[in-house]
Amino acid sequence: MLNFFIQEGAEVAQDLEPVAQEKTLSIMDLLLTGGVAGQIIIAILFVLLFVAVYIYFERLFAIKAATKMDSNFMNQIRDHVAKGNIQAAKVLCAQNNTPVSHLTEKGISRIGSPLEDINTAIENAGRLEVYKLEKNVSVLATIAGAAPMIGFLGTVIGMVLAFHELATSSGQAEMGSLAEGIYTAMTTTVAGLIVGIIAYMGYNHLVVRTDKVVHQMEATAVDFLDMLNEPA
């Protein structure tokens, strides 16, 4: 009987204990509770992320537009040049408005000149087209390298704040004060790495897409020069 009352009492006491509530941490809380220094670093990284995403999609659409070309384009150019209809060939190039058509138009405008001069003109036009394709892509590479460094700067600032609090309190600092500096250090590091990874992956993807367009231009230039070398 005594054991029964003891067990009942333990159950009642357990029921009367306050229920611990789980504390969830939202993304906004994660970004805004790292102190003033952490908020400044996070704001800078957010701006860099916006710039990186904008440049990536702007260049992606530009490169995708540069690859759109009629599969019968070179055959039509070949027919116009064979018939001596140079003006029609230029009009066809202007209608396509792609890096490949720009190179072809530059070569067509030099027909009658020595083959070496035509090749040089196409190469110069090709360098200009590659420069247009790679516009602002280097900014992505800069962000990919700078964002983690800015995050690490926040880490150093957070640790300095934590140790400064510890030093000024003669080793008796409250855990909450120390935790704020360490919290700043960790959140800025994570944010910097995330922005850096996104920018790095975007940069490499754009480089691969640009290389494909460059190879397409080189192949077209070779085809055009071979066409001029064909016997009449």
Q: What is the pLDDT of residue 144?
A: 93
CA–CA separation, 126 and 40 (whole Å):
43
CA–CA separation, 19 and 45 (whole Å):
39
Q: Are 132 and 33 spatial neighbours (Cβ–Cβ below 8 Å)?
A: no
Can you list the alpha helix ranges (DSSP code H) found in the chain? 2-16, 27-32, 35-66, 73-82, 86-96, 99-109, 115-133, 137-168, 175-229
Q: What is the pLDDT of residue 174?
A: 59
Q: Are 173 and 165 spatial neighbours (Cβ–Cβ below 8 Å)?
A: yes
Q: What is the pLDDT of residue 176?
A: 55
Q: What is the pLDDT of residue 145?
A: 93
**Residue ranges of the chain whose pLDDT lies below 70:** 1-37, 161-184, 230-232
State the Cα angle at 102 between 97 and 106, rounded to 5°: 145
